[in-house]
Amino acid sequence: MLHTLDAPAVRTWCQLALRALGQAREEIDALNVYPVPDGDTGTNLYLTVESAAAEVESRFADPAAGPAPGLADAARAMARGALVGARGNSGVILAQWLRGTAETLAEGGGAEQLRAALQRAADSAYQAVAEPVEGTLLTVARVAAREAVRAGDGLGQVADTAYRAARDALRHTPEQLAVLAENGVVDAGGRGLVAVLGALADAVAGQQPMGPVALRGDVRAVESCEGHVRPPGPGHPAFEVIYLLDAPDDALPALRERLGALGDSLVVGGGDGLWNVHVHVDDAGAAVEAGVGAGRPHQIRITHFAEAAARAGAADAERGEREERARAVLSVVSGEGLAELCEQAGAVVLHADPDRAPASAELADAVRRSAAREVVLLLNDPELRAAAGAAADQLREEGVRIAVLPTRSPVQGLAALAVHEGGRRFDEDVVAMTSAAGATRYAELAVAEGESWTMAGVCQAGDVLGLIDGDVAVIGAGLPEVGESVLDRMLGAGGELVTLILGEGADETLADRLVAHVRQQRPEVDAVVFRGGQESAPLLIGVE
């Protein structure tokens, strides 16, 4: 349990919030009926926090470049990243909430500062919205801040109280906003803030974003139904306009007044000369011109609600009419040997940084570069599922037919590639690849960096760990011994082929010994060895 927030805690908070929103993204999208029922609030919040997390990570990326960031620097990076990457109405409001939080946390990270930060965050969020509406993210933020003031003295008590109050406030949003009650849902933006506050409470409690975790953000206050999402009805403005704006503070009042006269759902967040402007209007050009009159608008995004809905419908119809088209398989791997194996099997490769998972924008750009209209995406890492889901949603709006295969290890990705046939119908190819990946058990050897509790007992620094299907199953002193034990356990459930992929720096004699062990113990089982070059593990194992 932390007694004071520091820069690493802010980093952890961002990572946990991103994971929580990734897990809840589709649920939040389905809740989205206000202010526009376009089913993208979960995706917008995820992309907003993804940008915040990336900006914080950049402060920790190169320790040799200077001293480690302090709390103030990390908090400001979080706020700036969210502002620059904010998407949609709720994303801009959340970015302003994070900015209010950061302004106070820059002064200290104790319990009293966190109380004040939550209050300032709620006030900032309200101020960003031209016409605040209760029963939304704003209400959830206000109630969380109010109850945090009444919490006990400890940092953990403040964070936990704020989270629980937000969760309770979310349950009551249908009582405050009629459209929510009519559709039987809670507010989508408020649901997202619950996830973010749950992640804060988890970070303060000492939770780390490594491996599977039970996140407090995973709360379902009211049963939701995806079928409630529908295109905007008559009388609603036709366009959503979003842009970043370089402008002095004194230019904002006139801009707010002008944009308020043009449309609704006006949110302006930011400060210190950089603003994120969001508005729904019928005249998109006039909204941009208002920005030109105040300063320099850039990163302008204009969405025509009806055309976006029509494009999505047309893409669905076109996919139903045409089964045969150019297809690509995109495989995300780390290690030159693995990349070469995937390319030889016909895949387009996205080289992943071993120290940083690719963001949704990188995945989407890699798919676009393939120039294919049908794409199978092999993740080869369970941590990429949320980013891939957000990328897939964007690509489907562009007319790309995409299937995300949540392969959890490169050996599963290779098994899927082995049965890929571009001449088959897309659905049949995806089913065959999914079946092959699912029939492949995976394991890896790793070296413990410190003392830790595992499912196989307590390990010490330097111990060799054998992980089967993601869980530690064996703890030992040497790579060969642990590798043999892992193979025995895996082959005990059957198998016809063992694949061994050596990591960077792994000795060839390790593979020779394990192949000899397989031939001696299970002569009917074939074994193949590849040098993958991955830094993540000295050995990857697959059993089919």
Per-residue pLDDT of 471-518, as tens digits, reads 999 999 999 999 999 999 999 988 899 999 999 888 889 999 999 999
CA distance 315 to 343: 29
> In terms of domains, do 66 and 150 share one?
yes
Query: What pLDDT is stored for residue 353 in this prediction?
Result: 81
Query: What pLDDT is stored for residue 37 in this prediction?
Result: 80
Give the domain CATH number at 492. Answer: 3.30.1180.10
**Residue 229 lies inside a defined structural domain of this protein:** no
**Residue 2 lies inside a defined structural domain of this protein:** no
> In terms of domains, do 354 and 490 share one?
no
In angstroms, the Cα distances linking 98 to 76, 121, 343, 372 are: 9, 6, 42, 38
**Token pair 């990457």: residue:** 85
Query: What pLDDT is stored for residue 313 in this prediction?
Result: 52
218: Cβ–Cβ under 8 A, 6 or more apart, which residues? 20, 23, 24, 195, 198
Express each pLDDT in 141-199 by its tens digit.
999 999 999 998 899 999 999 999 999 999 999 999 999 999 999 999 999 999 999 99
CA distance 43 to 25: 6
Instruction: At 402, list the tokens.
Output: 């995409």
> In terms of domains, do 14 and 158 share one?
yes
Neighbouring C-beta atoms of residue 57, cutoff 10 Å: 17
Query: What pLDDT is stored for residue 449 in this prediction?
Result: 87
Measured at the CA of 275, the angle between CA 274 and CA 277, to 5 degrees, comes to: 155
Position 225 pLDDT exceeds 50: no
Mean pLDDT lowest among 21-25, 64-68, 198-202, 386-390: 64-68
Q: Under a CB-based contact definition with an 8 Å cutoff, are residues 224 and 245 in contact?
A: no
What's the one-letter identity of residue 70?
G
| Mean pLDDT on 251-265 | 93
> In terms of domains, do 95 and 212 share one?
yes
Position 211 pLDDT exceeds 60: no
Query: What pLDDT is stored for residue 210 in this prediction?
Result: 53
Please state, rounded to an integer, the average pLDDT across all residues of the chain. Answer: 87
Query: What pLDDT is stored for residue 502 in this prediction?
Result: 93
Express each pLDDT in 430-487 by its tens digit.
999 999 999 999 999 999 988 888 888 999 999 999 999 989 999 999 999 999 999 9
Strand pairing class (497-502; 526-531):
parallel
Q: Under a CB-based contact definition with an 8 Å cutoff, are residues 330 and 350 in contact?
A: yes
In angstroms, the Cα distances linking 338 to 342, 360, 382, 405, 533 are: 6, 22, 17, 18, 7
Express each pLDDT in 82-113 by its tens digit.
999 998 899 999 999 999 999 999 899 999 99
pLDDT tier for residue 61 given thresholds of 50, 70 and 90: confident
**Residue 132 lies inside a defined structural domain of this protein:** yes
CA distance 174 to 176: 5
> In terms of domains, do 60 and 101 share one?
yes
DSSP state of 130: S
Position 341 pLDDT exceeds 80: yes
Measured at the CA of 398, the angle between CA 28 and CA 218, to 5 degrees, comes to: 15
Residue 220 vs residue 382, higher pLDDT: 382
The dihedral region occupied by 80, where left means phi > 0, alpha psi between -120 and 50, and beta the remainder, is alpha
Give the domain CATH number at 415. Answer: 3.40.50.510
Instruction: At 281, list the tokens.
Output: 């209007």
> In terms of domains, do 88 and 187 share one?
yes
Percent of the chain scored above 70 by pLDDT? 91
Identify each DSSP E strand in 326-428 by its residue range.
Answer: 327-333, 348-351, 374-378, 401-405
The number of folded domains in the chain is 4
Neighbouring C-beta atoms of residue 103, cutoff 10 Å: 19
Give the domain CATH number at 295. Answer: 3.30.70
Position 332 pLDDT exceeds 50: yes
Express each pLDDT in 107-149 by its tens digit.
999 999 999 999 999 999 999 999 999 999 999 999 999 999 9
| Mean pLDDT on 47-65 | 82
Express each pLDDT in 302-330 by its tens digit.
888 776 555 555 544 444 433 334 789 99
Q: Nearest to residue 405, comparing CAs of 357, 445, 440, 356? A: 440
Percent of the chain scored above 90 by pLDDT? 65
Strand pairing class (441-447; 401-405):
unpaired
> In terms of domains, do 392 and 421 share one?
yes
Helix or strand (DSSP H, E) at 143: helix 137-149
CA distance 128 to 259: 13
Of 263, 287, 321, the domain-final residue: 321
Measured at the CA of 187, the angle between CA 186 and CA 189, to 5 degrees, comes to: 145
**Residue 28 lies inside a defined structural domain of this protein:** yes
pLDDT tier for residue 213 given thresholds of 50, 70 and 90: very low
Of 189, 224, 259, the domain-final residue: 224
Position 383 pLDDT exceeds 70: yes
Question: Residue 118: CA atoms inside 13 Å, Cβ hemisphere, count?
Answer: 32
Query: What pLDDT is stored for residue 212 in this prediction?
Result: 36
Instruction: At 516, list the tokens.
Output: 């000899």
In angstroms, the Cα distances linking 395 to 221, 228, 370, 402 are: 30, 23, 12, 8
Query: What pLDDT is stored for residue 321 in this prediction?
Result: 39
Q: Under a CB-based contact definition with an 8 Å cutoff, are residues 46 and 386 in contact?
A: yes
> In terms of domains, do 22 and 108 share one?
yes
| Mean pLDDT on 240-265 | 93
> In terms of domains, do 423 and 327 share one?
yes
Query: What pLDDT is stored for residue 406 in this prediction?
Result: 86
Query: What pLDDT is stored for residue 307 in this prediction?
Result: 67
| Mean pLDDT on 59-72 | 75
Q: Under a CB-based contact definition with an 8 Å cutoff, are residues 161 and 111 in contact?
A: no
| Mean pLDDT on 233-243 | 79
**Residue 209 lies inside a defined structural domain of this protein:** yes
pLDDT tier for residue 1 given thresholds of 50, 70 and 90: confident
Of 438, 467, 491, the domain-final residue: 438
What's the one-letter identity of residue 463?
D
CA distance 41 to 92: 11
> In terms of domains, do 512 and 526 share one?
yes
Strand pairing class (497-502; 539-543):
antiparallel
**Residue 17 lies inside a defined structural domain of this protein:** yes
pLDDT tier for residue 358 given thresholds of 50, 70 and 90: confident
First to last CA, the chain: 43
Residue-number span of the structural domain to which 246 is assigned: 234-321
> In terms of domains, do 206 and 239 share one?
no
What's the one-letter identity of residue 309?
A
Query: What pLDDT is stored for residue 273 in this prediction?
Result: 92
**Residue 536 lies inside a defined structural domain of this protein:** yes
Q: Nearest to residue 16, comparing CAs of 218, 152, 245? A: 218
Measured at the CA of 382, the angle between CA 352 and CA 515, to 5 degrees, comes to: 80
**Residue 265 lies inside a defined structural domain of this protein:** yes
> In terms of domains, do 428 and 459 share one?
no
Residues 188-202 as b or e (16 or more Cβ within 10 Å = b): bbbbbbbbbbbbbbb
